[in-house]
Amino acid sequence: MEPSKSISSDHLDQHVQLEEIRLLYGGTPFSFSAAVVITLIIYNVLLGHVTSQQNLNIWLFTILGVMFIRSIDSYLFSKRNKQQQLEKKWRIRFYIGTGIAGLSWGLLPWLGYSAEIEYFSFILVCLVGVVAGSLSTLAYRWETLALFLLPASILLILRILAENNSFFNATAFVLLVFIFFSLSAGKKIFNNTQQNIRLRLEADGRERAIELMHQKQALHLQNTPLAIIEFDIDLNVTEWNKAAENIFGYSHSEAIGENIMRLVLSRDSSVEAEKLWQRLLNHEAVTGSVIENKTKSKEAIFCEWFVTPLTDEKNEIVGIAAMALDITEKKQNELAIIKSKEEAEKANQAKSDFLSSMSHELRTPLNAILGFTQLLKYEKTLSKKQQSHISEISNAGNLLLELVNQILDLARIEKGHLQLSMEKVTLADCFKEVRAMVSPLAEKNDLSLDINIESNGYVIADYTRLKQVMLNLLSNAIKYNVEHGSVSMKALQKENGVVRISVTDSGRGISQEQLQEIFLPFSRLNTASNIEGTGIGLSISKQLVEMMNGSIGVSSTLNKGSDFWIELAGNLNITSAIESKSKTMLLDDSLNDETNASNNILVAEDNPTNQTLIMSQLEALGYTAELAENGQEALNMMVNTDYHLLLTDCNMPLVDGYKLAQTIRDRGNHTLPIIALTADAFPEKKADCLKAGMNDHITKPVNLQTLKDTLEKYLS
Ligand code: ADP
């Protein structure tokens, strides 16, 4: 604030200086002509009465000469522009001119001296008049007054004193007093004049600023897109600008004096308007309140209102000033966005629901296909051809299962149901496990597989999901390779605690255009058409890696090979203490354990195919089992027989698996192991099972090894 203040006061000072010098020079034409007249009168009166006529002539020429030079100086000044007039030289020239003029007048009693007392007194009176007159034109500056007055009066007083006469001595004293008062009066006039100049300049400046402000306000009022409306305490409109005319459709003359509520308010908004009015009456300003309004043509519009109460000096509300912005378009866009978002969410939800129920429905028949196929593999009587057919069915079934699992993953991710458990994953363990899983496939395709299981260090990830991504990349690298090609997986430390795991193959590669869409769901490239695949593995991998706060990418050259990489937070130089168990899902050679027969298992399952399958599986594992068609039958059977374990389907008629488990626990049996068999692979299903009192849960299709391991866990 300070600098601007000093700038404006500097500006004012300059104005004052300019005004002063102009007033000083401006006074000269009048004072010079008056001085010439007085000079000529004095000369004429004194003519013939002076001691020396020659001295009087010298005085006359001196004073007229000085007047003439000053007139020319004054004329030159008037021809200069503002900036030049402000130059210091004009001030100095005026001061010198005034001093010389004062001196010339002071010479009058010396050069025009008359021994006759009445003529000398005449000189005295004339000089006093000149001095008094000079007050009006020279008092704009204190210095000019002094410069004129002092030489003129001192010379006069000295001349009077030289007379050595008591009358003149008294006159000299009176004159001295007169000079003193003239000077102090001059000083006062100077001060007042100064102040007047300042006040006038300030007032001029303010007047101009106010005028400018009015102009601006008028312009804004007319051109702003904001409706500016004022109304009195009775709600009658007093101000209505152009924007208000445009927004609400009423002209200025139609609106003035009308009730604002009737003009702009739709019936639906009266409650909101009433609330707003109450706030205003409490002297509260209301900003950004959105109200549904209506136009003259009864069209509904949305306006954002900024409203303030106007108060008088007693702080009583005398009216309201309001601004309204038409936001109908914005509001409509917002509503359209919300609606389309809701629709998109609904469609997405429907898609996810469809996918998850589809995959559930597919799991049930798949359970039978894969289960029976697995059992058939152990049938010793089958011919080679039949075994090969069984193997084909098994492969196709597994592929279908993979597709179902992947669709389920996709649905889970989209629903936001997929939960990750982030931990430090030891790379060596993970590498070892995936190597064990993919090396048979690599061998089958005659490819060299190089997975560096010596990799030290860890990454922050979900163990199972990281393995899933690695398996997807490795199986792709194997599937889309060439004969005798190679596949390798390596870990590399990048800067900032980031580890890159890259899977490189010497396969057919991917073209640059195709690279763009490779991570989109169901994007299978033409070249892949003769190779089994679902087209969603990479899209799931991308979403999983991103959920693990990592990134995934690829670089590839057609007919040379591809390099798929993922980057995750981690460190390669430290070995994590985490131990991961290497689970090989290979089925034990000996399925049947003699001791199992002593365990009696109750199976509750309603689907006939699944009934046959699970009973056959249990038989293959050497267990004795009895079957109940539903939960109610299972409960009835348990009244008479003690079972060692209950395997139950979840969805059954009459009493379902959850109700069955709950009833058993409610009846006080807390020791019987209850294991669910469910086609639902969602984690929340598992939680539901545990909540109902079950001990564990096996997802269909039931893998023989998993069934064996789970039963042994609870029956040992
Ligand atoms: P798919 O089940 O078809 O393998 P993915 O989502 O895993 O589904 O892969 C999508 C497509 O990307 C594949 O069909 C294949 O055309 C291409 N692709 C993936 N990995 C490679 C690779 N290493 N080399 C060449 N093409 C690949």
- pLDDT tens profile 588-638: 445 566 667 788 999 999 888 888 889 988 988 889 999 999 999 999 999
Which of 445, 538, 563 gets mutated to test ligand 1 (max ligand atoms within 8 A of its CB)?
538
Mean pLDDT of 84-100: 92
A 10 A CB-CB count for 686 gives 17
What's the gap between Cα 73 and its chain centre? 67
Total residue count of the chain as it appears in this document: 716
Mean pLDDT of 237-260: 94
With vertex at residue 617, the alpha carbon angle to CA 705 and CA 713, rounded to the nearest 5 degrees, is 45
As beta bridge partners, residue 311 has 317
What pLDDT, in 10s, does the model give residues 472-489? Answer: 999 999 999 998 999 999
Mean pLDDT of 337-344: 92
Cα distance between residue 60 and residue 492, in whole Å: 112
Q: Which residues, 6 or more positions from 109, have their beta carbon under 8 angstroms from its beta carbon? A: 120, 123, 124, 127, 155, 156, 159, 160
Closest atom of ligand 1 to CA, residue 518: 12
Cα distance between residue 151 and residue 66, in whole Å: 15
Ligand 1 geometric centre to CA of 443 (Å): 20
Closest atom of ligand 1 to CA, residue 540: 6
Segments of 360-483 assigned E as strands: 422-426, 448-451, 458-462
Which residue is associated with the tokens 């390669």? Answer: 572
**What is the sign, positive or negative, of the torsion defined by CA atoms of 78, 84, 85, 89?**
negative
What is the radius of gyration, based on Cα positions, of the chain? 55
Cα distance between residue 455 and residue 105, in whole Å: 114
Identify the pLDDT of residue 590.
Answer: 53
Task: Please tell me the pTM assigned to this model.
Answer: 0.45
Of 134, 166, 161, 156, residue with least CA distance to 147: 134
What's the gap between Cα 86 and its chain centre? 53
Cα distance between residue 676 and residue 646, in whole Å: 8
What pLDDT, in 10s, does the model give residues 642-653? Answer: 999 999 999 888
212 pLDDT exceeds 70? Answer: yes
Q: Does residue 325 sit in helix, strand or coil?
A: strand
Please list every protein residue whose CB sits less than 6 Å from any atom of ligand 1. Answer: 472, 476-477, 480, 505, 507-508, 510, 518, 523-525, 528, 533-539, 562
- Quick one: tokens of 142? 């204190």
Identify the pLDDT of residue 6.
Answer: 47
Identify the pLDDT of residue 351.
Answer: 77
- How much of the chain exceeds pLDDT 70, in percent? 94
Ligand 1 geometric centre to CA of 524 (Å): 6
With vertex at residue 275, the alpha carbon angle to CA 271 and CA 277, rounded to the nearest 5 degrees, is 115
Ligand 1 geometric centre to CA of 487 (Å): 14
Segments of 572-684 assigned E as strands: 600-604, 624-628, 645-649, 674-678
Question: DSSP letter string over 645-683?
Answer: EEEEESS-SSS-HHHHHHHHHHTT--SS-EEEEES---H
Ligand 1 geometric centre to CA of 551 (Å): 18
Closest atom of ligand 1 to CA, residue 472: 7
Which residue is associated with the tokens 């027989």? Answer: 641
586 pLDDT exceeds 60? Answer: no
Cα distance between residue 7 and residue 366, in whole Å: 89
Highest mean pLDDT among 170-179, 269-278, 436-445: 436-445
